[in-house]
Amino acid sequence: MSNEEKKFWGPHEILSVEYLDFETELGSKVMRLTLKSDITPTETVSARAFDLFATAGPVDLTSHQEMRFRVLIKATLSNILEYHLYASEFEGFANKLGNSYEDALQRAANFLWTGRDESFIPGTSVMQYRSALEAESILRTIPNEETTEETDVPGSEE
């Protein structure tokens, strides 16, 4: 990237962008950002997230997180309205969402460490700095990957 086009992901300068060969469930291209960072040298993000959250100058981590949370909360609430969730079901929904997210990260970590799609093994602390989209990119490399009703995105049927 030239100096005129310099972009940042939070406080980290984006050094390069590489498009991966898959899209998100909502049809956004997926890209890997190489960052000027010792902690997180790469980030895997959707083109939609890049367009919304890559900035012309550095942004502290808390502000960057708040930017992402605002958009994510609005999208989640829109889906809750669209797909009819009762107020009494919200806590169960939130728990199931958290468990599904954690399961995807742990399954990806297991495959990353072992190269096999078997039960979780200890040593997944590296996942603290990984995203759900990075987990998805790993899960897509697992032979015979099948989605379940719990992970299918409504409206994505062909």
Same domain? For 57 and 114 the reply is no
Same domain? For 108 and 134 the reply is yes
Task: Look at residue 119 in the predicted model and tell me its pLDDT.
Answer: 56
pLDDT per residue as tens digits for the range 92-126: 999 999 888 887 887 787 777 667 776 554 434 44
User: Is residue 157, in this structure, part of any structural domain at all?
Assistant: no
Same domain? For 57 and 105 the reply is no
Task: Look at residue 23 in the predicted model and tell me its pLDDT.
Answer: 96
Instruction: Report how far apart, in Å, the C-alpha atoms of 90 and of each of 6, 73, 84, 93, 96 are.
Output: 41, 14, 11, 5, 10
Task: Look at residue 120 in the predicted model and tell me its pLDDT.
Answer: 59
Same domain? For 107 and 132 the reply is yes
Same domain? For 75 and 4 the reply is yes
Four-point Cα dihedral 110, 152, 23, 155, nearest 10: -170
Same domain? For 113 and 140 the reply is yes
Number of domains in the chain: 2
Give the pTM.
0.70
Same domain? For 89 and 27 the reply is no
pLDDT per residue as tens digits for the range 60-102: 999 999 999 999 999 999 999 999 999 999 999 999 998 888 8
